Amino acid sequence: MTLLAALLGAAFAGGACLVFSGWSGSGKADHIQTWPSHTPVHRVVNPALQRRLALAAGFGLPVGLITRWPVGAIAFALLGWFAPELFGSKGAREAATAKTEGIAAWTEMLRDTIQGAHGIEEAIVTTATVAPQPIRSEVEDLAVRLERQPLDAALRSFATDLAHPIGDLVVASLTLASQGAVGDLAELLGTLAVTAREEAGMRLRVEAARARLRTSVRVIAGCTAATALGLVLFNRRYLNVYEGAVGQMVLAIVAALWGASLWWLSRMGDFIAPERFLAATDDLDTDRVTA
C-alpha cells in the first residue's frame, strides 16, 4: 500500500509537470519537424525535458517512498522540475549574453564585408565560416539555405533559429536592403551592432545587480527542503499532524504557498528581454503549415 501510494504520487507529479509545461508553452517548437518511423525515441524527446523528468522523479520518488505522502512527493517532484531555473540557470544567462555579443560581432563583419562592394548573399557566405562561435551554426545554416532558397525565406528561417530581438532587426534590415528600401545598409548595420553591444552590457549590469537575489532564492529553497527532509528523517512525530486527508490538504496549501513564493522570487531575478517582432509572423506561418 505504501509503495502504491508513492508510485501514484510520483505519477501524478509527473503529469502535473507535463500539464504545466504545455500550458506555459515552454515546450513549444519554433517549427514543425517530423521524424522517420525508425528514429530512436531518445532522439525525439527533448534532452531538456528528459532532464526535467529525471530530476522530478529523483526528488519526488524518494520522498514518496519515505513519507508515504502523495502531496510531499508531488511538492518535491515539482521542486525537481523547476530546479534548473532555481539552481542552474547561470549558464543559460551567460549563453544569452554571449549570443547578443555574437550577433553584434557578426553584424559588424557584414557591415565591413558589404562596404567592400560585396552583395548581401556573398557577404553572408563569406562571413559564415568566421562568425562568432555562439551563432556560427545558425549563420552556416543560413549560408547553406541560400543555395536553394530565396534570400527573404532564408533570412526568415535564420531569424527563427536565432530567436533574438536584435537578430530580428538585422534580418529585417537585410530583407529591406535586398528589396532596395535601405539607402545605406552599412551604416544601418553599424547602428544595430552598437545597439546589440549596449544590450549585452545592460544584461551584464542587470545580472550583477540581481546576483544577490538569485543567491537568496537558492539559499531559501535549499534550507527549506533540507529542513523538511531533516524533520522527516529525524523527528517524524513532529509531522504526524500531516497524516490523513485533512493533514495532506493543509500540507498541499503550505507547499503551494511555498512554491508560489519561490517562483515569484525567481521571476524577480530574471532578465525580461524585449519581445521579438518577427515571432508573430513565425506563428502565423506555423499555423498555415498545420492547417
The pLDDT assigned to 87 comes to 67
Query: Which among 90, 96, 80, 111 is positioned nearest to 192, based on CA atoms?
Result: 111
- Compute the distance between CA of residue 16 and CA of residue 22 in angstroms, rounded to an integer: 10
Q: Which residue has the higher pLDDT, 247 or 43?
A: 247
Q: What does DSSP assign to residue 205?
A: H
Do 70 and 245 form a contact (C-beta atoms < 8 A)?
Answer: no
The pLDDT assigned to 35 comes to 37
For residue range 57-98, list pLDDT tens digits in order.
887 888 788 778 888 888 888 878 877 766 666 677 778 888
Q: Residue 105: which domain range?
A: 93-202
Average pLDDT, the chain: 75
Looking at the chain, the whole-number percentage of residues with pLDDT higher than 70 is 75
Q: Rounded mean pLDDT of 243-259?
A: 86
253 falls within a domain: no
268 falls within a domain: no
Q: Could you give the 3-state DSSP secondary structure of residue 275?
A: coil
The pLDDT assigned to 38 comes to 42
Q: What does DSSP assign to residue 239?
A: G
Total count of domains within the chain = 1
Q: What does DSSP assign to residue 150?
A: -
180 falls within a domain: yes
Query: Which among 118, 147, 113 is positioned nearest to 131, based on CA atoms?
Result: 113
In the block, which residue shows the cell 486527508? 245
Cell of 186: 552599412
Q: Rounded mean pLDDT of 172-179?
A: 86
Q: For the CA atoms of the chain, what is the radius of gyration?
A: 24
Indicate whether 47 pLDDT > 70.
yes
35 falls within a domain: no
* 142: number of Cβ within 10 Å: 26
167: exposed, middle or buried (C-beta count within 10 Å: 0-12, 13-18, 19+)?
A: buried
Q: Rounded mean pLDDT of 179-207?
A: 81
216 falls within a domain: no
Cell of 14: 509527473
pTM over 0.85: no
Query: Which among 203, 234, 259, 189 is positioned nearest to 90, based on CA atoms?
Result: 203
Q: Rounded mean pLDDT of 18-38?
A: 40
One-letter-per-residue 3-state SS of 20-66: HHHHHCCCCCCCCCCCCCCCCHHHHCCHHHHHHHHHHHHHHHHHHHH
For residue range 119-137, list pLDDT tens digits in order.
888 889 999 989 999 999 9
The pLDDT assigned to 144 comes to 93
231 falls within a domain: no
255 falls within a domain: no
For residue range 277-287, list pLDDT tens digits in order.
776 554 444 34
For residue range 211-241, list pLDDT tens digits in order.
777 787 778 878 887 888 788 788 878 888 8
For residue range 94-120, list pLDDT tens digits in order.
788 888 889 999 999 988 888 776 788
The pLDDT assigned to 89 comes to 62
Q: Which residues contact 152 (CB under 8 A, 6 or more apart)?
A: 175, 178
176 falls within a domain: yes
